[in-house]
């Protein structure tokens, strides 16, 4: 089982995001998460590779996560979509 805080800390360390939203969508059991990661490290990187970067940042914790919804955006993409999260 993983916690929002654990996922948040790992992604913060791995990607130094400008914006990071982590939500446990498994009623608190830590099996399913939605994450929004906005990082300058994603500039010029294909979407599939961004997802790999997020998964890699979670390391061994990925084994305990049943489902992970990833929104891995550049700062420019976030500006266009941020109203959906306010």
- In tens digits, what is the pLDDT along the chain, a chain of 86 residues? 689 999 999 999 999 999 999 999 998 788 999 999 999 999 999 999 999 999 999 999 999 999 999 999 999 999 999 888 87
Provide the residue range defining the domain that includes 64.
Answer: 4-85
C-alpha span between 74 and 50 (Å, rounded): 10
Q: How many domains does the chain have?
A: 1
Which ranges of the chain would DSSP assign to H, the alpha helix?
4-15, 47-58, 75-81
Would you say 32 and 68 are in contact if contact means Cβ atoms under 8 Å apart? yes
What's residue 86's pLDDT? 77
pTM of the model: 0.92
CATH of the domain at 17: 3.30.300.90
**Model pLDDT, residue 1:** 60
pLDDT of residue 17: 98
């Amino acid at each position: 089982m993983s916690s929002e805080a654990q996922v948040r800390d790992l992604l913060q360390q791995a990607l130094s995001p400008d914006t990071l939203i982590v939500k446990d969508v498994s009623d608190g059991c830590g099996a399913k998460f939605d994450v929004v990661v906005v990082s300058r490290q994603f500039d010029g990187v294909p979407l599939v590779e961004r997802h790999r970067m997020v998964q890699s940042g979670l390391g061994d914790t990925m084994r305990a996560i049943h489902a992970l919804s990833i929104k891995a955006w550049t700062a420019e993409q976030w500006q266009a979509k941020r109203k959906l999260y306010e």
